[in-house]
């Protein structure tokens, strides 16, 4: 019992020193918040906006079919902006040539030029494109239905297109009921990334400095053994990760209405993940003698793990090979577990494998770190 108290005392002291450092707030709050806002707004934009996708139309048609075709494109989600000439600024643009009507009436095939700005919203472009294909399908169906008649008289009277097949969308049962916000995606990713960065950099550097300055040696004059010093350092870094996650989750809940699904299970995932990162930080801190080296390694590892693990972009858009390779990243297992909890209302059974992998990683890294842990250089 006394032993545990001593370990907890040292770990708590490490945490206290860290929280007292002004830079701590940059790493745990300011910088992650910037990331959360940036990525949250980006995800939000791709989820919902633009609610109405704009399509610029250059209508040079000299007949009546141009206006009729545009009527077929119009929908609550697509706004048409008809102009006489191609403007310098647009996101999406379609050109109806002067002989648009003439070609249809002569039953001559034609392809309309549809231009998309590469830097405009991909989702809005896809929405407009789909709408264009649907409009073409509607017009062609009506022409087929009209038969062999004179197409110049088509617009004087013809059978109207009816949407006989309709499409209804929903989410799977026992999952979410409302569309997750951009922040529901960005906060877990940012939290995982910054636990890696902060615990490895801050935790690693302080282990190295304590060793170099002889703090670790002096601690041996207390009733602490080398093993207990190691455990205390590991525990202190674990606390750092937990504090970081708690701060971001609380801020997320208050300011961004973050929904984690099961809060206790989310915290359990974070706890096991932080333990693995704490072990990695002690290992790197024991191995390296230079601060820059620790920063470099931390930035390298955290970025690779975050990129592969789905902290920056949705893993669905990643090629299958990279998705398989992502399994080497601890961030992948943590993010996957948080997704199961948030988006699929998962329970302990659903994240058991994730927890097992992260716990195994924590044990392996902990064992390696304990072997490399040095009191003095």
Contacts to other proteins from residues 46-105, by CB under 8 A? 46-47, 69, 86-88, 104
- Which residues between 340 and 369 bind other proteins (CB under 8 A)? 340, 342-344, 350
Identify which of residues 104 and 248 has a Cβ nearer to other proteins in the complex: 104
Can you tell me which residue has the tokens 């007292």?
Answer: 20
Q: Which residues are 58's β-sheet partners? A: 83, 95
* Chain position carrying tokens 């860290």: 18
Among 82, 83, 250, 322, the residue binding other proteins under the rule CB under 8 A is 322
C-beta closer to other proteins: residue 227 or 314: 314
Q: Give yes or no for a contact between 233 and 207, defined as CB atoms under 8 angstroms apart.
A: yes
Q: Which of 230, 253, 247 is nearest to 194 (CA)?
A: 247
Handedness of CA 25, 27, 29, 34 (dihedral sign): positive
Q: Which residue bears the tokens 């927890």?
A: 355
Of positions 60, 116, 253, 374, contacts other proteins by CB under 8 A: 116
Q: What span, in angstroms and rounded, lies between the C-alpha atoms of 211 and 289?
A: 9
Among 52, 112, 353, 360, binds other proteins (CB under 8 A): 112
Give how many residues touch other proteins by CB under 8 A.
103
- Please give the backbone phi and psi of residue 44, each rounded to the nearest 5 degrees, phi first: -60, -45
Binding other proteins (rule: CB under 8 A), the pick from 307, 368, 370, 375 is: 307
Q: Mask of contacts with other proteins, 229-258, x by CB under 8 A?
A: ------------------------------
- At closest approach, how far in Å is the CB of 99 from other proteins? 13
The residue (of 79 and 209) whose beta carbon lies closer to other proteins is 209
Q: In the complex with other proteins, which residue's Cβ is closer, 17 or 82?
A: 17
CB closer to other proteins, 215 vs 220: 215
The CB-of-39 to other proteins minimum distance in angstroms stands at 9
Rounded to a whole number of angstroms, the minimum distance from the CB of residue 282 to other proteins is 19
User: At its nearest, how many Å lie between other proteins and the CB of residue 77?
Assistant: 11
50 and 121 Cβ atoms separated by less than 8 Å: yes
Measured between its terminal Cα atoms, the distance across the chain in Å is: 31
Pairing between strand 53-59 and 78-83? parallel
* Shortest reach from residue 342's CB to other proteins, in Å: 8
Report 149-178 residues binding other proteins (CB under 8 A): 159, 161-176
Residue 299 in the binding site for other proteins (CB under 8 A): yes
Number of neighbours of residue 111 by Cβ within 10 angstroms: 5
Long-range contacts of 153-159 (CB under 8 A, 24+ apart): 154/105, 155/64, 155/65, 155/68
Which of these ranges, 229-237, 252-260, 277-285, 335-343, lies near other proteins under the rule CB under 8 A? 335-343
Minimum CB separation of residue 14 from other proteins in Å reads 15
Q: How far apart are CA 139 and CA 64, in angstroms?
A: 13
Which candidate, 368, 299, 362, places its Cα nearest to that of 334? 362
Please identify which residue in 6, 127, 233, 237 interacts with other proteins, judged by CB under 8 A.
127
Give the SS3 label for residue 121: coil
Place of tokens 């008289």: 153
Q: Which of residues 190-209 bind other proteins (CB under 8 A)?
A: 201, 205, 209
Q: Are strands 92-96 and 78-83 parallel, antiparallel or unpaired?
A: unpaired
- Segment near other proteins (CB under 8 A); pick from 49-57, 234-242, 300-308, 360-368: 300-308
Residues 6+ apart with CB under 8 A from 288: 204, 208, 294, 297
Q: Which residue in the set 6, 14, 43, 235 belongs to the binding site for other proteins (CB under 8 A)?
A: 43
């Amino acid at each position: 019992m006394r032993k545990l108290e001593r370990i907890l005392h040292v770990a708590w002291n490490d945490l206290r020193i860290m929280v007292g450092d002004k830079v701590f707030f940059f790493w745990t709050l300011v910088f992650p918040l910037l990331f959360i806002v940036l990525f949250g707004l980006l995800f939000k934009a791709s989820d919902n906006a633009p609610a109405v996708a704009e399509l610029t139309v250059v209508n040079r048609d000299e007949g009546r079919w141009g206006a009729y075709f545009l009527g077929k494109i119009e929908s609550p989600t697509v706004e048409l902006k008809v102009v006489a000439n191609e403007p310098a600024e647009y996101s999406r643009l379609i050109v109806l040539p002067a002989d648009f009507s003439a070609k249809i009436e002569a039953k001559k095939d034609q392809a309309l030029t549809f231009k998309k700005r590469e830097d405009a919203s991909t989702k809005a472009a896809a929405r407009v494109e789909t709408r264009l294909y649907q409009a073409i399908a509607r017009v062609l169906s009506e022409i087929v239905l009209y038969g062999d008649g004179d197409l110049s008289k088509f617009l004087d009277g013809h059978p109207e297109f009816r949407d006989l097949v309709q499409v209804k969308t929903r989410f799977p049962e026992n999952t979410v009921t409302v569309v997750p916000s951009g922040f529901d995606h960005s906060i877990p990713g940012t939290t995982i990334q910054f636990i890696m960065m902060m615990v490895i950099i801050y935790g690693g550097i302080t282990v190295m400095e304590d060793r170099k300055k002889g703090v670790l040696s002096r601690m041996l004059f207390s009733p602490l053994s080398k093993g207990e010093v190691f455990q205390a350092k590991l525990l202190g870094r674990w606390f750092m990760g937990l504090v970081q996650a708690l701060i971001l989750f609380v801020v997320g809940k208050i300011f961004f209405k973050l929904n984690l699904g099961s809060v206790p299970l989310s915290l359990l995932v974070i706890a096991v993940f932080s333990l693995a990162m704490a072990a990695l930080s002690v290992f790197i801190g024991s191995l390296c003698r230079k601060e820059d080296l620790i920063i470099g390694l931390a930035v390298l590892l955290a970025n690779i793990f975050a990129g592969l693990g789905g902290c920056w972009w949705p893993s669905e858009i990643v090629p299958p090979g990279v998705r398989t390779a992502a399994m080497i990243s601890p961030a992948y297992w943590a993010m996957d577990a948080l997704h199961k909890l948030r988006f699929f209302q998962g329970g302990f059974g659903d994240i058991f494998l994730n927890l097992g992998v992260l716990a195994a990683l924590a044990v392996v890294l902990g064992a390696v770190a304990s072997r490399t842990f040095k009191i003095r250089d």
